[in-house]
Amino acid sequence: MTRAESWTRLRPSYDLLVAGGGITGAGIALEASRAGLSVLLVEQGDFASGTSSRSSKLVHGGLRYLAEGNVKLTWEAVRERDRLLAEAPGLVEPIGFLFAMHEGDHPGRALVGTGLVVYDLLARKGRHARLTREEFLLRAPHVGSPGLQGGFAYADATTDDARLVLRVLFGAVAEGAEALNYVRCEGLLREKGVVVGAVLRDLVSGEEREVRAAAVVNATGAWADRLRSEVGGRPRIRPLRGSHLLFPAWRFPAAQAVTFRHPRDGRPLFAYPWEGLTLLGTTDLDHSAPLDEEPSIAPVEAAYLLDGARAAFPSLSLSARDVVSSFAGVRPVIGTGKEKPSEESRDHVLWEESGLLTVTGGKLTTFRLIALDALKLLRKRLPALSRLGADARVFRAGGAGGPSLSALDAGVARRLAGRHGRAAESVASEARPGELEAIPGTTCLWAELRRAARAESVVRLDDLLLRRVRAGLLLPDGGASLLPRVREICQAELAWDDGRWAMEEQNYLARWRANHAAPAALPEPAARGAEAAPALCA
C-alpha cells in the first residue's frame, strides 16, 4: 500500500494516536500494537528525521550518568544495550572504547577506574582493563597529547540510529499499526476539556481530517511543548544541540572509540569508527534557532571539535578540509535551570495533562523502557495494555533468512538482516544485476536504495539518501556524483517524472550544503577565546 493510499484509508478512530516518529514514538507504537491495540503514528517530517537520526550513534550504558550518581539510569541502559546486542546483530554492534587519562585530569584514574568497576558490575560482566601509556598507544597510536599517562579500555555498542528507528517502526506496522510521515497534528480535539483525538494535516496533499482516539501520546521530542501548550502546559523543554563531524577513515584512523578531554574546558569528546568513516563529537549547547529549521553545526562548534581532535591526535594535523560531512541534532532535555547544559538530566519524563500523555527526554538505548513506562500510565483507559510484555523481545527472532540472503557474504547478510529484519530477504531477492554490490565509499548496497524507494515511505530524496540509506552522510558532496545511478535505480520505483526528479535533486543538494557540509569558514585559533567555552559546551 502506498503512502497516499494509507492516508485515504485512515480510520475515523483508533485506540491510540501517537504523535512523533522518532525512537520514542516508534517504541510506543510497537509495544501497543503487540498488546492488540489499534495504533496510528504520525510524524510531521520524515520518520527519524529529528533527534533520532542525529544522535551520536551509540547504544551505551552512559558512563557519564554513573559519574553524576545516576546509577538507576546506567543500570537500565547497560541491560538494554546488552538486550539489543543479542537481538539485533548487524544493527547494534559491539565497539571497544579507550578512555585517555592525562596528568592532572579530574576525575583522576582512581575515580574513573572505580566507576568502570561499577559499570561492569551493573552489566554483570567484567569488561574494562587499565592500560599503561605504552599499552594505550599500541591500541591508539595516533594519540599523542601531552601528559598522556595511559587510560582504560571498556566495551559499549554502536548503531545506525535511523535504521534502528525504522526497524522498530516497521515492526509495529507488521503487528498491525499504521504509520504516516509528513502528517502534522494541527490541533487537538477535546470534549469536556479532555483530549479525544487530533486534527491531522497531510503535508504532501494539504488535506485535513479528524481522527479520534481513546488515548493520545505526545512523543514529539524537542517539539513537545507545542502540543502541551494546547492543554495549558507551561514550557518545560530546554533544546540542546549536539553536533558532529565525519572524516575519511584513512585521514583519521580509529580502530576503536577513543574518549579524550578537550584541552580548553576538560569536557569529554570521542572519535570512533562508524560506517567506514570516523565520527567526531559532540557538543552540548543551548539551541536558540527555530525548531522547524533543520539544525546544522555552527562554525564555532566545528572549530571546537577540531581543536580538541588536533590536541589529542597532533600527528594527524586535521583541518576542516578533511571533513566529509557534518550533522547536528537537538536533544529534548527537560530544563531545570542548570547553568551548564551538560548538567541537565537525561532521564525521560511523563506528564498527563487533560488527557494528553507527553513522554520526552531519555536515551536512544532505553527506548523500550520509556515506551513501557508511557503505556503503563494508559492502562485505565486501555485495559488491553495489561498484557504488556515487560521482558518480551524488541525484535522477533527468525524470519530474516532465505536463499537470496544466504547466498551473500556472511558479513553482508548479517548487516542486511540487522538493518531490515524480516525484509532483508526481499532486499536481496528484489535486487537487479550489480545491485548487491556496495555503493562506492559506503557499506550500503545499491539494492537497499531500490527497496527503500519501493517500500519505505520515501517522500523526498533526502529521506532516501540521509535516513533509509546513509550515503548522503558518508560521501563527499552528499554523493552528488552518484545521483545518476541513484536515479536509474529509484526513479521508476518512486513514480517521479523527470521534472520531479530534477526538483528533488536540486532541493536535496541545497539541503545537504546548508545542513551537512563542513562549515566553509572557521575562525582562527587566536580568535577563539577561552571565554567562549562555557557558552559552547559547558
**pLDDT category of residue 527 using cuts at 50, 70 and 90:** very low
Q: How far is CA 484 from CA 433, 466, 487, in A?
A: 17, 17, 5
Please indicate, yes or no, whether residues 362 and 414 belong to a single structural domain of this protein: no
Q: Which amino acid is at 92?
A: V
**pLDDT category of residue 126 using cuts at 50, 70 and 90:** low
Q: Which amino acid is at 393?
A: R
Report pLDDT for 265.
87
CATH code, domain carrying 439? 1.10.8
Domain count of the chain? 3
Rounded CA separation 281/137 (Å): 21
Q: Name the grid cell of 33.
A: 500494537
**pLDDT category of residue 525 using cuts at 50, 70 and 90:** very low
Report pLDDT for 157.
94
Report pLDDT for 531.
36
Please indicate, yes or no, whether residues 378 and 416 belong to a single structural domain of this protein: no
Q: Specify the range with the lowest mean pLDDT, choosing from 70-74, 289-293, 448-452, 461-465.
A: 70-74
Helix ranges restricted to H, 97-243: 109-123, 133-139, 161-174, 224-229
**Which secondary structure element, helix H or strand E, spans residue 309, and what is its range?**
helix 299-312
**pLDDT category of residue 76 using cuts at 50, 70 and 90:** confident
DSSP code, position 466: I
Between 141 and 346, whose confidence is greater? 141
Please indicate, yes or no, whether residues 359 and 487 belong to a single structural domain of this protein: no
Query: 505 in a domain, yes or no?
Result: yes
Query: 532 in a domain, yes or no?
Result: no
Rounded CA separation 139/227 (Å): 49
CB environment 249-272: b (16+ within 10 A), e (fewer):
bebbbbebbbbbbbbbeebbbbbb
Rounded CA separation 358/352 (Å): 6
Report pLDDT for 390.
67
**Residues 172 and 332: beta-carbon distance below 8 Å:** no
Report pLDDT for 67.
66
**pLDDT category of residue 120 using cuts at 50, 70 and 90:** confident
Please indicate, yes or no, whether residues 171 and 151 belong to a single structural domain of this protein: no
Would the pLDDT of 111 be above 90?
no
Please indicate, yes or no, whether residues 10 and 133 belong to a single structural domain of this protein: no
200: burial class by Cβ within 10 Å (0-12, 13-18, 19+)? buried
Q: Dihedrals φ, ψ of 106, to 5°?
A: -135, 125
**Residues 474 and 277: beta-carbon distance below 8 Å:** yes
Please indicate, yes or no, whether residues 463 and 500 belong to a single structural domain of this protein: yes
Query: 394 in a domain, yes or no?
Result: no
Q: Dihedrals φ, ψ of 268, to 5°?
A: -70, 135
Query: 185 in a domain, yes or no?
Result: yes
Rounded CA separation 154/99 (Å): 8
Query: 338 in a domain, yes or no?
Result: no
Please indicate, yes or no, whether residues 319 and 450 belong to a single structural domain of this protein: no
Please indicate, yes or no, whether residues 268 and 152 belong to a single structural domain of this protein: yes
Residue 109 burial (CB count, 10 A): 16
Report pLDDT for 393.
84
**Residues 58 and 190: beta-carbon distance below 8 Å:** no
CATH code, domain carrying 154? 3.30.9.10
Q: Name the grid cell of 514.
A: 546548508
What residue has cell string 551505551?
Answer: 60
Query: 74 in a domain, yes or no?
Result: no
pLDDT in tens, 288-319: 999 999 999 999 999 999 999 999 999 999 99
Between 135 and 339, whose confidence is greater? 135
Query: 502 in a domain, yes or no?
Result: yes
Please indicate, yes or no, whether residues 232 and 244 belong to a single structural domain of this protein: no
**Residues 484 and 501: beta-carbon distance below 8 Å:** no
The count of C-alpha atoms lying within 13 angstroms of the C-alpha of 25, restricted to the half-sphere facing its C-beta, is 36
340-368: average pLDDT: 86
**Residues 450 and 430: beta-carbon distance below 8 Å:** yes
- How much is the pTM? 0.94
Please indicate, yes or no, whether residues 370 and 468 belong to a single structural domain of this protein: no
**pLDDT category of residue 530 using cuts at 50, 70 and 90:** very low
3-state secondary structure of 214: strand
**Residues 54 and 394: beta-carbon distance below 8 Å:** no
Q: Name the grid cell of 36.
A: 492488540
The rounded mean pLDDT for the chain is: 90
Q: Which amino acid is at 397?
A: A
Is the omega angle on the peptide bond into residue 442 within 30 degrees of 0, that is, cis? no
Rounded CA separation 418/405 (Å): 12
Rounded CA separation 170/186 (Å): 25
Please indicate, yes or no, whether residues 145 and 258 belong to a single structural domain of this protein: yes
Please indicate, yes or no, whether residues 356 and 278 belong to a single structural domain of this protein: no
Rounded CA separation 380/212 (Å): 18
Would the pLDDT of 512 be above 70?
yes
416-444: average pLDDT: 96
Q: Which amino acid is at 520?
A: A
Provide the residue range defining the domain that includes 429. 403-515
Query: 363 in a domain, yes or no?
Result: yes
pLDDT in tens, 245-301: 999 999 999 999 999 989 888 889 999 999 999 999 999 999 999 999 999 999 999
CATH code, domain carrying 32? 3.50.50.60
